[in-house]
Amino acid sequence: MKYLVSLLFTSLAWANQIPLNLWTSQPYNIGHVEQFDAGLFTPLESLSAVKELEYTTFGHPLFPRYSVRLKKTAFCDENVNAYTGYIDIQARHLFFYFFESRSDPDHDDVIFWTNGGPGCSSSLGLFMELGPCRINNSNGTVPHPESWNTNANVFFVDQPIGVGFSYADYGEAVSTTEDAAQDIAAFVAIWFENFSSFKGRRFHMAGESYGGRYIPVFASAVYDQNQQLIENGLTPINLVSAMIGNGVTNEFSLILSYYDMQCTGASVEPVVGISTCVALKAMIPRCEKWMKASCVDQFDKINCDAAVGYCGGVFGDPYSATGRNPYDISRPCDGPISETLCYPVTKYISQYLDRPEVRDFLGVDPSITANFSSCSDRVGTAFYEAGDMLHPTADHVGALLERNIKVLIYVGTYDWICNWVANERWTLALQWSGHDEFSGQPLRVWNHDGKRAGRTRSAKGLTYATVEGAGHMVPYDKPAESLTLVQRWIADLPL
């Protein structure tokens, strides 16, 4: 299980005290409507009010524990406006990047992106996958033409506390997805309320790997918070969809799927020996029964931990012994996984973000002096000890769908750690009003530029899609295909 847990921790899937709130120093419960006075609030209205050489600070009286520091930051894409800043939650501070759309920033949709882990920085998504620039070597950034900000405004957020350039003044920590969701939902409301051009704008929440746990809960928090915004006379967030790439939405089905990935031709030819596969096959019913009884039917953290730990080791250790890349079953791991995540480019990203001049123009808080780390073992361990990964989020997906929030589940076919077999199984088994129609749909081919890109099925707002030849980080392996996928999705076009 040590191997499996370390993979989930590192899956793509570690000061200053904020000033007194501008409107009130008293604790505020968002449900107490009488404490909110819209007359006390003066929004920034436009991003043009944001300064370049220093932070512009803003907030909202409905969220007195929160404020946002933002500066205009000219980097990565000279053709669009870029911004960096911190979401300040009293003694906790979340770092983020924001890039305007290359097409029509005043009208294009908005995408929120987070990497997984738990504990991995969204700088990986920015500089390695879907951002407007990439870092391919030690020379710095280069333009990335297939960025997702081609037709959308995009956030990249280092969350929870302790990830990337995010930090806490006195060692504060967040160790559950539900707690992290409250910070993200509050930030989204503050941003959309301060900048009038964003009010009512179509909004999508996206992430990969542990994002399969994050995104359904984050999107649910944003949706539920809308009622409170409406009650206070504010504009609700126009949440349109959730997008999950190679997600760990149901860890139990994921563990069992490792048999298929290493012992059958699900993606490539079998990669472990026959005797091992025979033994693994015999363990499937035992592990399935054990995890269902202790984790699903009647949750017991001690027994669930034991079941997941034992079964995770049984099915994960044989693959670990092969030396193959857990994020791409078609190739060996390139470098120690603890240092490179099997991708040496991650070291170049860290080296770039360790440059003093880079940190200075990004506006990284000077209290952060440690070397940049793509993923935080400390955060991952805290989530593991809290049992956060033992809670599936498929029911959140079903609830979002029932409320007409679209959901896209996309999966690279070469990923092992959060693979297509497990993701297809849980989407087919999902209990919601569209279950029969969705599960009754056959897979069909979807194309990019006239060529086969993968297979998909879709019904009543739920879409499942594979991206052939891609690993865990679909936008890294197949940038053009992933952009086509996202462009069609946000435009409400079929694949």
Q: Which residues are catalytic?
A: 209, 415, 472
Q: What angle do CA 464, 261, 289 make, to 5 degrees?
A: 85
User: Could you give the CA distance from residue 456 to residue 441 in angstroms, rounded to a whole number?
Assistant: 9
What distances in angstroms separate CA 39 from CA 36, 43, 391, one per listed residue?
9, 11, 42
CB 456 within 8 A of CB 432: no
Q: Which class for 27: exposed (0-12), middle (13-18), buried (19 or more C-beta within 10 A)? A: exposed
Tell me which residue of 173, 121, 170 sits closest to 16, measured CA to CA: 170
